[in-house]
Amino acid sequence: MPQMKIVIIGGVAGGASAATRARRLNESAEIVLLEKGEHVSFANCGLPYYIGGQITKRSKLLVATQEDFRAKFRIDVRTRHEAVRIDRAARQVHVMDHTTGRPYTETYDRLILAPGADPILPGWDGLDACNVFTLRDLSDSDRIKAWLDREKPARATVIGAGYIGLEMVESLHGLGITTSLVELQPHVMPAMDDEMASRIETVLAEHGVHLHLGASAEGFDVRQGRVVNVRLADGTILPADMVVISVGVRPNVKLAADAGLATGPYSGIAVNAHQQTSDPNIYAVGDAAEICHLVTDESAYIPLAGPANRNGRTAGEHAATGSAPSATPVAGTSIVGVFGKSAAMTGLSVKAARKAGIDCQAVYAIAGHHAGYYPGAEKLVLKLVFDPASRRILGAQAVGGAGVDKRIDVIATAMRFAGTIDDLAGVDLCYAPQFGSAKDPVHLAAFIAQNVDDGRLRQLLPGDAKPDGQLLDVRTVPEYEANHLNGAINIPLQELRGRLDELDRDRPVMVTCGIGQRAYFACRILMQSGFADVWNLAGGLTMHEKAWKEASVG
Ligand code: FAD
């Protein structure tokens, strides 16, 4: 049997996974990996932390070197070799060797495309200024680090508040640089629901980051080849010694499109469950390709490291052996850390579900990440999104300190198996006081969802239209006096059964407390005492204070 030849374009997350999987399953194949940059298999996810100084040695970012690939996997890695054209009829890739300047062609039996994504750039003058940066690879981080070391900038502006933007804000701030963050959407982390993302904004503001949300950057003032100001559409001028643009990425599809391969609705390379493109001898993985979304079962574009690695493995296996388990759909499970807090999500947010035309309900569980009586419990807010008809979990978001990742990973796992809120209510999680609670926040969220879906609790989310009724705060008197929602009357939960006559049974009652739990207890008392129209402000003051204040002012 003639030796099979697999050529891979792009040598980082998707490409490196494909190459090594192919080798492990096919010892005789010839495997060539073309990478246009200087390095293969580097940790792009670690770059912000190298810039910020948490990772001190650049070499730590090189997960595997060209030599490792040769010695351990007998993979012919060629760095500074750029694939410039694919000739599908001849099964050839045209390559430019940037070290020698020599063009050549490479034949293939199977071709795997893993060229990643390109940063989206605005069409302004001044993008070529020496202090404007994007962050995609090691050479970008080298440029940024060199600038920081040489120029010691005092002020930085980061444009775009997705996870790379936030990580850069934290790193630059940690270096003592006064940092402004500009985001076109009204909130940071635009994929999250607004009231969850705003919790991260509070953390950023507390650390002195200057937030410009719902603000459109529209250009630079450039002097002597340097940006000196970032101009916003509202007239704000942000003086800046350096600018980082992180407004998203677009799939790198030029090679594929030029070769006539099909692209999907998000302009990524369209692939089947084995990562094959419209040409079955050509695979595509990672940020260049679209994926199948776990919840919508439709094509989606989710450029993250996990899917790139896993789908690279699928493509490598299929290319090397002719078969492989189908790639699993992707929920977009992701996390960002900012100043010791974290924000994570999986699946659909409420706004994404509504946009997709999917009916959804949401609940909040607000609790410590481990038992409150054990020292060091950190509060987290967990939002669970589910389909009220099927009770299937659609997504979740969490913001807090420690333990955010665990809750989202548990829910992502339940979703992977099409879990319902009832499944989640019954998951058997490990517990000792320093690790969790016997009723974990994951369980609490599921219990609340069951109560809501079973009609045992009616709730109002922040922003929902409020019935014309009375607002009852069931916290203690000192708590109420310290802070309460405008218009609330106070009857502490402990006294409620004896003071029901102070409430008007003919008008709706909205009940609140700190996080929604005592209000739930109160709702149950009221509902079983003849009050017909009872509502819990979901998540209590923690979630409603801001929206209530804004509505009162409005
Ligand atoms: P890449 O890893 O980008 O690799 C593509 C490679 O292809 C590049 O090295 C490129 O030079 C090469 N290439 C392109 N065109 C050609 C060509 N014509 N010929 C030869 N070579 C070519 N994801 C997470 O899930 N969690 C995180 O915390 C996280 N943090 C991140 C932080 C940063 C700063 C960045 C930039 C990304 C981060 N990501 C994170 C995203 C994650 O790194 C990507 O989703 C993942 O690397 C995509 O893998 P890929 O193989 O598709 O592309």
Which phi and psi (to 5°) does residue 331 adopt? -100, -5
Mean pLDDT on 271-300 = 97
> Catalytic amino acids?
45
For the Cβ of 551 lying below 6 angstroms from any atom of ligand 1, the answer is no
CB 395 within 8 A of CB 362: no
Question: pLDDT tens across 358-388, in order?
Answer: 999 999 999 999 988 999 999 999 999 999 9
pLDDT (0 to 100) of residue 490: 98
Which residues on neighbouring strands pair with residue 395, listed in sequence order? 347, 385
Nearest CA, atom 15, ligand 1: 115
CA distances from 277 to 50, 333, 379 (A): 35, 24, 45
CATH superfamily of 5-118+250-321: FAD/NAD(P)-binding domain (3.50.50.60)
For the Cβ of 289 lying below 6 angstroms from any atom of ligand 1, the answer is no
Mean pLDDT on 31-47 = 94
Is the predicted pLDDT of residue 456 greater than 70, yes or no?
yes
Is the predicted pLDDT of residue 1 greater than 80, yes or no?
no
The answer to whether 5-118+250-321 and 340-453 have equal CATH topology is yes
Q: Compute the distance from residue 117 Cα to the ligand 1 centre, in Å.
A: 7
Question: pLDDT tens across 82-110, in order?
Answer: 999 999 999 999 999 999 999 999 999 99
CB 291 within 8 A of CB 299: yes
Question: pLDDT tens across 301-325, in order?
Answer: 999 999 999 999 999 999 999 999 9
pLDDT (0 to 100) of residue 41: 87
Cα(166)–Cα(155) distance, integer angstroms: 16
For the Cβ of 37 lying below 6 angstroms from any atom of ligand 1, the answer is yes
Is the predicted pLDDT of residue 553 greater than 60, yes or no?
no
Q: Report the 10 Å Cβ neighbour count for 409.
A: 15
| Of 79, 112, 111, 109, the residue nearest 96 (C-alpha) | 79
> First vs last Cα of the chain: how many Å apart?
76
Count Cβ atoms within 10 A of the Cβ of residue 165 and give its class: 0-12 exposed, 13-18 middle, 19 or more buried. Answer: buried
For the Cβ of 304 lying below 6 angstroms from any atom of ligand 1, the answer is yes
Nearest CA, atom 1, ligand 1: 116
* Angle (CA) 399 161 221, round 5°: 155
Percentage of the chain exceeding pLDDT 70: 99
Is the predicted pLDDT of residue 478 greater than 70, yes or no?
yes
For the Cβ of 119 lying below 6 angstroms from any atom of ligand 1, the answer is no
CATH superfamily of 459-553: Rhodanese-like domain (3.40.250.10)
Question: pLDDT tens across 237-268, in order?
Answer: 999 999 999 999 999 999 999 999 999 999 99
Q: Compute the distance from residue 338 Cα to the ligand 1 centre, in Å.
A: 22
- Per-domain boundaries in the chain: 5-118+250-321, 132-247, 340-453, 459-553
Q: Which fold has domain 340-453?
A: FAD/NAD(P)-binding domain (3.50.50)
pLDDT (0 to 100) of residue 112: 98
* CA dihedral sign of residues 6, 9, 10, 13: negative
Sequence length of the chain is 554
Q: Does CATH number 3.50.50.60 belong to domain 132-247?
A: yes
pLDDT (0 to 100) of residue 552: 67
Q: Compute the distance from residue 287 Cα to the ligand 1 centre, in Å.
A: 7
Confidence of residue 554 (pLDDT cuts 50, 70, 90): very low
Average pLDDT, the chain: 96
Q: Compute the distance from residue 312 Cα to the ligand 1 centre, in Å.
A: 12
pLDDT (0 to 100) of residue 417: 97
Confidence of residue 546 (pLDDT cuts 50, 70, 90): confident
Q: Which two tokens stand for residue 14?
A: 């998707």
Is the predicted pLDDT of residue 415 greater than 70, yes or no?
yes
Is the predicted pLDDT of residue 326 greater than 70, yes or no?
yes
